Amino acid sequence: MGHGKLRKFAENETFRCLLQPAAEEVMSHGENKALLLKDHPIKGRWNQEMFAADQPIILELGCGKGDYTIALAERHPEMNFIGVDIKGARLWKGAKYATEKALPNVAFLRTRIEFIPAFFAPGEVAEIWLTFSDPQLKSPNSRLTSPLFLDRYRSFLAPGGIVHLKTDSRFLHEYTKAVIAANGLPVLTSGTDIYHEGLTVFAADDARLRDLAAVTEVQTFYESMFLEMGLPITYLSFTLDRPFVSSGSRNFIFPADFDEKFWREAEGPRRTFSHQRAKQ
């Protein structure tokens, strides 16, 4: 491990805005030594323990360096923002900026997204942002908009809470649309090339869509790079409310008619190229 990473990891320990739980704080052993998720003490207490004011909480899952979390927080001081990622060296940048600027509405959580229900109580989160997530072309269960993850989000997302998906991956965009359709979820906004074709808004009078301008005015590090390469950026926003299904009556289901092969073949060369550039 390089000295730069070691320095960042050491400095991370000094940031009050960064929570880095040990594995034993969220995992326990059940029968036959099976690992079970257990609640972290911060669950249900984010506003009291981590923020200056009791305000709606917005998550960015897979936040990387935290640039999008920071930008949204500076844009909306009336809300509290939490960036989540497993990479401590990446989180260092956002946590350091938030600390130096004394931002009262920014926090970061270092954990695996699979563990996220251990940290948030029912109704504690108002919105979720998924920004340029790995589309997991061959692993449906690992996609952050898969039914497995939507079930996790539903455990803590408030009724009417919004899920935002912003991505350069048309595969992930179309897959998410198929999941939405299979589960009868309300779509609020959609666009397949937001910088050139704009957005289609399906709920124009919905007060939750208060800042659609942020979809194009706030950009992640990867987004700026993808735009330079001429790649179209897509966007979806939707809720996990199912008007024809009683709350909690069944899990979300996988789509039966998503053409994985077609969209994977359409995606492959472009996605590989974009990620080679992004890692340089």
Q: Is 19 helix (H, G, I), strand (E, B) or coil?
A: strand
Residue 30 domain-assigned (yes or no): no
Residue 94 domain-assigned (yes or no): yes
Angle, nearest 10°, between helix axes 260-279 and 170-183? 140
Q: What is the dihedral of CA 33, 37, 38, 40, to 10 degrees?
A: 130
Domain that holds residue 104: 3-16+38-279
**Tens of pLDDT along the chain (280 residues)?**
666 888 999 999 999 999 999 988 998 877 666 778 999 999 999 999 999 999 999 999 999 999 999 999 999 999 999 999 999 999 999 999 999 999 999 999 999 999 999 999 999 999 999 999 999 999 999 999 999 999 999 999 999 999 999 999 999 999 999 999 999 999 999 999 999 999 999 876 666 677 888 899 999 888 999 999 999 999 999 999 876 555 555 789 999 999 999 999 988 665 555 544 554 4
Q: Which of 76, 68, 87 is nearest to 20 (CA)?
A: 87
Q: Which of 95, 84, 85 is nearest to 13 (CA)?
A: 95
Task: Count up the domains in the chain and report the number.
Answer: 1
Residue 191's CATH number: 3.40.50.150
Q: Which of 122, 187, 111 is nearest to 159 (CA)?
A: 122
pLDDT for 245 equals 55
Do residues 107 and 51 lie in contact, with contact meaning Cβ atoms separated by under 8 Å? yes
Active site residues: 134
Residue 32 domain-assigned (yes or no): no
Residue 29 domain-assigned (yes or no): no
pLDDT for 118 equals 96
pLDDT for 33 equals 65
Do residues 164 and 128 lie in contact, with contact meaning Cβ atoms separated by under 8 Å? yes
Task: List the beta bridge partners of residue 234.
Answer: 167
* Calpha distance 74→43 (Å, rounded): 24
Do residues 227 and 233 lie in contact, with contact meaning Cβ atoms separated by under 8 Å? yes
Residue 23 domain-assigned (yes or no): no
What count of other Cβ atoms lies within 10 Å of the Cβ of residue 7? 12
Total-model pTM: 0.92
Residue 240 domain-assigned (yes or no): yes
Residue 177 domain-assigned (yes or no): yes
